[in-house]
Amino acid sequence: MRHSIAMTVNGRRTVLDVEPHRTLLEVLRDRLDLLGTREGCGVGECGACTVLLNGRAVVSCLVLAVSADGAEITTIEGLAKEGRLDPIRTGAIQCGFCTPGMIMAAKGASVLEGNLCRCTGYAKIHEAIAQSASPPAGRETTSA
Amino acid sequence: MRPFDYVEPRSVDEAVALLSRGGERTRLLAGGTDLIPRLRRRQWRIDRLIGLRRIDGLRDLTLEDGVLAIGAGVTLEELAASTTVSDVCPLLAEAARLMASPQVRALATIGGNLCHASPAADLAPPLLCLNATLRAIGPSGGRDIPIGEFFTGPGRSALRDGELLVQVRVPAVEGRGVYLKFSPRRAMDLAVVGVACFRSHGVATVAVGAAAPTPLRVPASPDEAAARCSPIDDLRASAEYRREMVRVLTRRALEIVP
Ligand SMILES: Cc1cc2nc3c(=O)[nH]c(=O)nc-3n(C[C@H](O)[C@H](O)[C@H](O)COP(=O)(O)OP(=O)(O)OC[C@H]3O[C@@H](n4cnc5c(N)ncnc54)[C@H](O)[C@@H]3O)c2cc1C
Ligand code: FES
Ligand code: FES
């Protein structure tokens, strides 16, 4: 049986019918076309699917969409200002798969214990986050 | 995941009624951090999930008459961040902070951690040391289960059909405690072995996780604690290694809380 749910997604009220066994991650990607939220492991271990649920960073692959009824959701797309994201320092992104989850975790939980990156070795990501938290004057912003 | 039906009762009584009527293939859903991975891996087959999030009171956390009463729906994040928990049982807050990741702790609940009844559940050893009582409500009313009687096997608890865990009650006792969780990675890893120790008025209590079919109270002596365990071999560690770690961590814990 389908359930009607209402969520506020990136500031926009969204009402849709979902099957109870669909995760919030599936609904964001497959129904709302918000493809910035990634599916890595699908079982809570990699953090690629991190979104803010009522202001808290959570792994959206473990949340049933029906249980997000009434919630306020922010995805990486919701952080873009006028369609653009802040520039991110060189080296913090290689393939980029983990990046949206990293940014959402930094926003909602301010630590990255729950995010895996298979490319960078983390040091550059930590530097980039430290910089964006307190941007120094004239920072290097070559890659976006 | 295979399809299933979903309901969100508004009260404990309603949840109990749904649960007792539902039979084996009906399950409770708290944070979902143990349940959803199992459903995704198709380890369990269910027809219906009962979501607990709309039940009033399950998320309350209060200190009343010298007892810290923690609703089953209180999250690990709330346990870790609560000043009441940190004041009254810092041992529990410390164990919560060592669990999973922030994005999982924001979902995962104390009730789910105990009812999943994993031998490695990190909240179990501290709660065993602190003599917690688990309040359950079922079709024939409520009852209090001493935590020492709650775990009956891997994935099995003393909850009866139709029973719901509603509250974890921890007596506020003067003392000092420590939880030593040994795992290869600092974050996001289950314990290879976990040892909790609490010393109150000179008497030490020790409990271990991941070292027997259930979390377990053991004698407050490194050799006797190691002897009491019955660990298994698995991909994380051998039984022999686990037993040795129980000995080492028990000795360390007793040194940390002299
Ligand atoms: C990436 C990751 C890392 C993890 N790391 C750790 C860790 O370090 N340490 C650790 O101990 N665990 C860890 N876990 C396991 C899990 O997060 C915890 O056990 C958590 O506390 C489970 O709570 P939940 O609310 O999500 O439970 P759920 O998944 O919602 O429920 C678990 C079980 O308990 C039952 N249940 C839930 N609430 C009740 C209730 N009130 N009454 C009766 N039955 C109930 C459910 O029916 C289900 O069978 C981890 C999980 C993930 C995905
Ligand atoms: S996809 Fe959700 S944590 Fe990996
Ligand atoms: S940049 Fe490739 S996974 Fe992090």
The letter for the amino acid at A55 is G
In-domain check, residue B124: yes
Show the domain range for B107: 61-171
Give pLDDT tens digits for B45-60.
999 999 999 998 999 9
Show the domain range for A53: 3-133
CA of A84 to the centre of ligand 2 (A): 25
Q: Give A74 or A134, the one with higher predicted confidence.
A: A74
- Select the residue from A113, A115, A126 to test the B interface by mutation, using most B Cβ atoms within 10 A: A113
One domain for residues B97 and B43: no
Backbone angles phi, psi at B185, to 5 degrees: -100, 150
Two structure tokens written together for A10: 């990136």
Given the structure tokens 């298994």, which residue do they identify? B232
Per-residue model confidence (pLDDT) at position B30: 98
This complex has an ipTM of 0.94
Q: Which residue's C-alpha comes closest to atom 3 of ligand 3?
A: A117
Given the structure tokens 């975790």, which residue do they identify? A105
Last residue of a domain, one of B115, B136, B171: B171
Give pLDDT tens digits for B112-169.
999 999 999 999 999 999 999 999 999 999 999 999 999 999 999 999 999 999 999 9
Q: Taking a C-beta distance cutoff of 8 angstroms, is the pair A23, A31 a contact? A: no
Q: Is A111 on the interface with B (CB under 8 A)?
A: yes
In-domain check, residue A55: yes
Last residue of a domain, one of B171, B204, B223: B171
Q: Report the C-alpha gap between A36 and B131 in whole angstroms.
A: 46
CA of B103 to the centre of ligand 1 (A): 13
Looking at the structure of chain B, the number of domains it has is 3
In-domain check, residue A138: no
Q: A132: exposed, middle or buried (C-beta count within 10 Å: 0-12, 13-18, 19+)?
A: middle
In-domain check, residue B56: no
Last residue of a domain, one of B146, B171, B196: B171
Per-residue model confidence (pLDDT) at position A144: 33
Q: Report the C-alpha gap between B230 and B253 in whole angstroms.
A: 20
pLDDT-derived band at B171 (thresholds 50, 70, 90) equals very high
Q: Report the C-alpha gap between A11 and A2 in whole angstroms.
A: 24
CA of A104 to the centre of ligand 3 (A): 15
Strands B156-157 and B151-153: antiparallel
Q: Report the C-alpha gap between A130 and A102 in whole angstroms.
A: 13
The pTM of this model reads 0.94
Two structure tokens written together for B220: 């407050």
pLDDT-derived band at B187 (thresholds 50, 70, 90) equals low
Per-residue model confidence (pLDDT) at position A113: 87
pLDDT mean across residues, chain A: 88
- Whether B212 shows a pLDDT value over 70: the answer reads yes
Residues of B in contact with A111 (CB under 8 A): 102
Lowest pLDDT segment from A86-100, B82-96, B185-199 = A86-100
Query: How distant is the Cα of B93 from the closest Cα of chain A, in angstroms?
Result: 17
- Whether A141 shows a pLDDT value over 80: the answer reads no
Q: Taking a C-beta distance cutoff of 8 angstroms, is the pair A49, A25 a contact? A: yes
Q: Which residue's C-alpha comes closest to atom 4 of ligand 3?
A: A117
Q: Taking a C-beta distance cutoff of 8 angstroms, is the pair A92, A50 a contact? A: no
